[in-house]
Amino acid sequence: MASKSVWRSLHYSAKRRTAVPPTPYRCFSCSLRARQAETGKPEENTRMTHFGFETIPESQKESKVGAVFSSVARSYDTMNDLMSLGIHRLWKDHFVRSLNPGSPLPARDGDKSGKGWNILDIAGGTGDIAFRMLDHATNINNDRETRVTIADINPDMLAEGKKRSLDTPYYNTGRLSFMQANAEHMPSIPDNSVDLYTVAFGIRNFTNKQAALVEAFRVLKPGGVFACLEFSKVNNPLFNEVYKRWSFGAIPLIGQIVAADRASYQYLVESIERFPSQEEFRAMIQEAGFIIPGKGYENLSCGIAAIHKGVKPLTKA
């Protein structure tokens, strides 16, 4: 069966690497924020990060990104249409097919979690990926046991997803649940409990991407799969020039016209430009402890987007 070969190929090398110990989660005090507000400048020892092209203290990014996604929650599909030239739906369909949820899972020693896949969809507030996962498991693999938890840090995105779930057969069933969570620190999710961790068009907005990858490694079962769909770097110079002109010239303007929100769309364009290249992000996944299957990523539409995968090792060396 194709599904079995997919799992075999993903797990073949999963016995070869040891896990990298997770880095501690960092927080920042209110007093630090107060001192920054008084002086207008961050203290010398303040950790900095990027918000689009702007450099800001790490402590400010979560609230700034939250404001962006609260603003675009109701027009999320429109946003993705603009950012992807309208083909994000095809990418998402391909992403789900490549993971084949609901296919037979490989046997794992000591795994007593029951039938079906346990999927964690991070930054999945509106349900785009989760609903596709459940549809694929049910309609393609005749599996009615697979379940998805949608986790998102933004309550407005979760509210939009809950509203959309009313029109699906998964509403008010044990197969679909929602939780508000920060992907960099999810203490409510046990170690080694998730079969598949997905994040689509979300990780580039995280404050500490490496911490999120380490947390993904922690919650996945041995042999579990990390899968990320994200905007990436176009690999054709001519097309890259055209795409950048479209992104920086047209998208913020259309965002102003369609959603009356130029600033949010400007940030989203800049966040794509700031995101690591395919090779750089692959190295980050590997640094978190994952085995990289094959090349580690698949370019979509000349690299406008890319699918990245990693596998948690089955055993320690």
Q: Which of 236, 226, 218, 222 is nearest to 282 (CA)?
A: 226
Q: How many residues does the chain have?
A: 317
DSSP string, 206-258: -S-HHHHHHHHHHHEEEEEEEEEEEE---S-HHHHHHHHHIIIIIHHHHHHHH
Binding-site residues sit at 126, 152, 182-183
Ramachandran angles phi, psi of 206, nearest 5°: -70, 145
- Chain centroid offset of residue 197 CA: 8
Q: Give the amino acid at 95.
A: F
Q: Any idea which residue has 């079962």 for tokens?
A: 221
Which tokens go with 131?
Answer: 């609903």
- In angstroms, the CA 215 to CA 184 distance is 6
Q: What is the 3-state secondary structure (H, E, C) of 57-87?
A: EHHHHHHHHHHHHHHHHHHHHHHHHHHHCCC
- Asked if 88 contacts 52 with a C-beta cutoff of 8 angstroms, the reply is no
Residue 15 has a CB neighbour count (10 Å cut-off) of: 14
DSSP string for residues in 130-187: HHHHHHHHHHTT--S--EEEEEES-HHHHHHHHHHHTTSTTTTSTTEEEEE-BTTB-T
Phi, psi for residue 310 in degrees, rounded to 5 = -145, 155
CA end-to-end span of the chain, whole Å?
30
Annotated binding site for S-adenosyl-L-methionine: 126, 152, 182-183
